[in-house]
């Protein structure tokens, strides 16, 4: 088996303003992100040979992307894989390009959650279907928080402060992202005093619910230079899916998520990364909750097991740190329109590797990572992707 390394390039990307987009429906958001990506790639819509649409609860087929961008009778696949939907749509598009089937492909992710009231997650499901666990996301991830504090003998106040520092970092980065949903700094004290959602997770430990869309235009790496000089290369793509809810597993530890580890193993292997902490210049990861980001640091090999709190205290993951994480504000502040999130993460890495991230630019960014996580502990869909600037 070959990996995906250096077979596929991103030549254009677009991303809408995330947030409460009362001015736009899902189609409008696809138009906004899609046209920005098309323009950025220097192509026209009619040049697009195939599409992939990632959507969790807004759209069910490939048709809305055809309608939004007036794409006439091209193939469009719709992918859904819980909150990892966007990256998995991107992954499937990459394989079709790498196989030589298409030269110019669009991948778009979108979600319109704010006016669904129930954020799309509670759409009633017919009998015989899969169902979300009765315990909602904050409580599921809260179990990881209390267990993490217990496992590594971290006093509650210290653990809360570590998590608060992650929220403060992401809120700060959000102020540097004009398209982010929340662009407001918060203090450690504000985070610690915020209402409790699911012990030990308070309001600022939880990401928001947003509307938004993002899109990418990809092509074969060997023809990418025909479109632009500063294209970005796909270096590795890992996806891992778990088969059983952690709550139903006697030995599930809740302090690491094996899907993250497996997805990273695959992506690092494809990208020839031996020491992610040293080799990766920035990462945009799935901080649905602050505890998730803390565990991700360890699952992806950025911090040794049980040591991520120390790295947080040392500022390792801030914009000025050794390995900046969630440079755009993350799910916490950029927002989390489910199907769009994975592609929004790639958008940030793309801009960073092109040196176009303005106030939040990471110096000498050459290798970037995205991590996108869907589902619940024990039955996650975890995706890790690595991207590189052109040599």
Binding residue (CB under 8 A) for a second copy from 46, 61, 225, 363: 61
Other C-beta atoms closer than 10 Å to the C-beta of 156 total: 13
Annotated catalytic, 181?
A: no
Nearest residue (CB) to a second copy, 113 versus 186: 113
Helix (H, G, I), strand (E, B) or coil at 335: coil
Q: Least Å distance between CB 351 and a second copy? A: 27
Count of residues engaged in binding a second copy, rule: CB under 8 A: 77
H helical segments located in the chain: 26-41, 63-69, 85-98, 137-151, 156-175, 188-193, 258-271, 276-279, 290-299, 308-313, 330-334, 338-353
User: CA-CA distance, 339 to 383, in Å (whole number)?
Assistant: 13
Residue 160 as a binder of a second copy (CB under 8 A): the answer is no
Query: In the set 330, 379, 388, 389, which binds a second copy (CB under 8 A)?
Result: 379
Strand partners of residue 143? none
CB of 182 to a second copy, least distance (A): 21
Residue from the set 15, 38, 108, 112 that interacts with a second copy by CB under 8 A: 112
Query: Looking only at residues 29 through 58 of this chain, which bind a second copy when binding is defined by CB under 8 A?
Result: 49, 51, 56-58
Where do runs of H (alpha helix) occur along 63-215? 63-69, 85-98, 137-151, 156-175, 188-193
CB of 265 to a second copy, least distance (A): 9
> Tokens in use for 84?
């990892």
Q: Which of 7, 336, 351, 360 binds a second copy (CB under 8 A)?
A: 7
Between the CA of residue 380 and those of 85, 116, 308, what are the distances in Å? 12, 24, 21
Check if 83 is active-site.
Answer: yes
Q: Which of residues 182-201 bind a second copy (CB under 8 A)?
A: none
Interface residue with a second copy among 243, 250, 251, 275 (CB under 8 A) is 243
Distance from C-alpha of 110 to C-alpha of 212, rounded to nearest angstrom: 6
Among 130, 153, 229, 251, binds a second copy (CB under 8 A): 130
The single residue among 14, 174, 375, 388 that binds a second copy, judged by CB under 8 A, is 375
Check binding of 223 to a second copy (CB under 8 A).
no
How many Å apart are CA 100 and CA 103, to the nearest integer?
Answer: 7
CA neighbours closer than 13 Å in the CB half-sphere of residue 159: 21
Minimal distance, residue 245 CB to a second copy, in Å: 9
* 374 near a second copy, rule: CB under 8 A: yes
Per CB under 8 A, contacts with a second copy among 309-368 are none
Q: Which stretch binds a second copy (CB under 8 A): 171-179, 189-197, 228-236, 258-266?
A: 258-266
Tokens of 384: 């890790």
Q: Is residue 341 within 8 Å of residue 350, measured between CB atoms? A: no
Indicate which residue of 56, 181, 256, 336 is catalytic.
336
Coil vs helix vs strand at 63: helix
For position 62 contacting a second copy by CB under 8 A, the verdict is: yes
Question: Considering only 127-135, 173-181, 226-234, 294-302, which stretch makes contact with a second copy by CB under 8 A?
Answer: 127-135
Footprint of a second copy on 66-105 (CB under 8 A): 66-67, 70-82, 88, 91-92, 95-96, 98-103
221 close to 215: Cβ distance less than 8 angstroms: no
For the chain, the first-to-last Cα distance in angstroms comes to: 25
Q: How far apart are CB 95 and a second copy at their closest, in Å?
A: 4
Element spanning 389, H or E: strand 381-389
- Over the Cα atoms of the chain, what is R_g? 19
Q: Which residues are catalytic?
A: 83, 336
């Amino acid at each position: 088996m070959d990996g995906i390394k250096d077979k596929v390039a991103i030549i254009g990307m677009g991303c809408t303003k995330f947030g409460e987009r009362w001015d736009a429906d899902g189609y409008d958001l696809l138009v906004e992100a899609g046209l920005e990506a098309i323009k950025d790639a220097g192509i026209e819509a009619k040049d697009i040979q195939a599409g992939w649409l990632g959507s969790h609860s807004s759209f069910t087929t490939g048709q809305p992307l055809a309608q939004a961008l007036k794409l006439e009778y091209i193939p469009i696949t719709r992918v859904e894989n819980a909150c990892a939907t966007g990256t998995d749509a991107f992954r499937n598009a990459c394989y079709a390009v790498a196989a030589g089937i298409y030269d110019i492909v669009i991948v778009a992710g979108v979600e319109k959650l704010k006016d669904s009231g129930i954020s799309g997650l509670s759409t009633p499901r017919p009998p015989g279907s899969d169902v979300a666990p009765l315990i909602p996301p904050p409580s599921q991830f809260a179990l990881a928080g209390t267990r993490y504090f217990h496992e590594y003998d971290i006093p509650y106040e210290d653990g809360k402060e570590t998590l608060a520092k992650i929220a403060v970092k992401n809120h700060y980065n959000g102020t540097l992202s004009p398209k982010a949903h929340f662009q407001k700094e918060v203090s450690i004290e504000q985070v610690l005093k915020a209402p409790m959602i699911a012990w030990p997770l308070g309001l600022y430990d939880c990401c928001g619910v947003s509307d938004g869309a993002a899109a990418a235009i990809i092509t074969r790496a060997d023809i990418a230079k025909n479109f632009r000089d500063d294209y970005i290369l796909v270096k590795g793509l890992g996806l891992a899916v778990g088969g059983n809810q952690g709550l139903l597993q006697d030995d599930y530890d809740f302090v690491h998520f094996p899907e993250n580890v497996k997805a990273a193993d695959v992506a690092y292997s494809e990208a020839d990364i031996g020491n992610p902490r040293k080799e990766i210049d920035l990462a945009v990861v799935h901080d649905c909750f602050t505890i998730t980001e803390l565990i991700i640091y360890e699952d992806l090999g950025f911090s040794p097991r049980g040591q991520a709190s120390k790295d947080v205290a040392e500022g390792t993951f801030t914009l000025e740190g050794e390995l900046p994480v969630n440079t755009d504000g993350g799910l916490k502040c950029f927002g989390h329109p489910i199907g769009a999130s994975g592609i929004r993460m790639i958008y940030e890495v793309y801009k960073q590797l092109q040196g176009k991230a303005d106030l939040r630019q990471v110096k000498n960014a050459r290798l970037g990572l995205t991590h996108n996580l869907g589902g619940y502990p024990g039955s996650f869909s975890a995706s890790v992707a690595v991207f590189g600037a052109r040599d």
